[in-house]
A = this chain, B = another copy of it.
């Protein structure tokens, strides 16, 4: 909880109660939540918080590179801590709408570049879309009924 405060402070962002709670939530929920999901969970503990505050805070965190945004679904933006998470790929299941990490081989060269062909790189994302193994199994079971 104190390292959270420092993480924010070090980037020149004032560590307010709301901001700390939002970042704490992202630290405890590594399942790439959306802004709405973050709001729905946090409003349980801070009933007066506004969804605008969540959006504002997430925007600041992204600018300061404290968190990263995943624009995979084309619908909602998902978020995750930049922190210790090394570069990794993602898998988006179009059936159960889950996003999870793919720990497998990640092209490290790509992910470390901050310049490519003279263009200044600020972030790098790789993802797969398809049907996750859970849904595959579920579909299979329904077939055999």
A126 and B119 CA atoms in complex are apart in Å by: 16
A47 within 8 Å of B (CB atoms): no
A89 within 8 Å of B (CB atoms): yes
Among the 9-residue stretches A13-21, A23-31, A130-138, the one with 4 or more Cβ atoms under 8 Å from chain B is A130-138
Asked if residues A93 and B117 are in contact (CB atoms below 8 Å), the reply is no
Asked if residues A128 and B121 are in contact (CB atoms below 8 Å), the reply is yes
Asked if residues A91 and B74 are in contact (CB atoms below 8 Å), the reply is no
User: Digit string of A95-138 for contact with B (CB within 8 Å is 1, else 0)?
Assistant: 00000001011010110010011111111111111111100100
Asked if residues A117 and B136 are in contact (CB atoms below 8 Å), the reply is no
What are the residues of chain B within 8 A of A82 when measuring CB–CB? none
A57 within 8 Å of B (CB atoms): no
Asked if residues A131 and B104 are in contact (CB atoms below 8 Å), the reply is no
Give the contacting residue for A93; candidates B94, B105, B113, B119; CB below 8 A.
Answer: B119
Give the contacting residue for A126; candidates B104, B109, B120, B125; CB below 8 A.
Answer: B125
In the A-B complex, the 10 residue pairs with the smallest Cβ-Cβ separation, listed nearest first, are A118-B133, A71-B74, A107-B107, A122-B130, A126-B126, A121-B130, A120-B131, A123-B129, A120-B130, A121-B128
Q: List 20 A-B contacts (CB under 8 A).
A: A69-B74, A71-B71, A91-B117, A94-B122, A102-B117, A105-B110, A113-B128, A116-B128, A117-B133, A118-B133, A119-B128, A119-B132, A119-B136, A121-B128, A121-B129, A122-B130, A123-B128, A123-B129, A125-B126, A126-B127
